[in-house]
Each structure stands twice: as structure tokens, then as C-alpha cells.
Amino acid sequence: MEKLLLVREGFLEAFRHWGNLILKKHFRAFSWFCFALWVLTLYAFLFGVTRGFAL
């Protein structure tokens, strides 16, 4: 538990000084882009499974 709290504290310290609005916007856009790619991958996997594609 102590190690988890140390990691959490490290992340909080690393992202605490992100005051730049442009950086925040780019990070948010990149997060949405990654989420969209993840959804596309999940869709392709489920499409292949339902159509009988051999894994």
C-alpha cells in the first residue's frame, strides 16, 4: 500500500505544474485519440470473432 501511495504522490507532483493551457488541450486531444483507437480495435476484434475468424 505504501508503494502505491508513493507512485500516486509521484504522479501528482509530476502533473501539478501543468499550467500551460495548450499542453492541457493537447493532452486531452491525445487521450481522446487513444480512446478512439482502443474502441476501433475492440470493434475489429468483436467483428472478427462474430464472423468466425480464427484467432
Summarize pLDDT for 2-42 with one digit per residue, the tens: 888 888 888 788 777 666 766 778 888 999 999 999 999 99
Confidence at residue 45, expressed as pLDDT on a 0 to 100 scale: 92
Confidence at residue 53, expressed as pLDDT on a 0 to 100 scale: 76
Largest distance between two CA atoms of the chain = 50
* Cell triple for 36: 478512439
**Residue 54: which pLDDT band, with cuts at 50, 70 and 90?**
low
Q: Which residue has the cell 475489429?
A: 44
Strands (E), 1-55: none
Determine the Cα–Cα distance for residues 54 and 42; give it in Å rounded to an integer. Answer: 16
pTM: 0.55
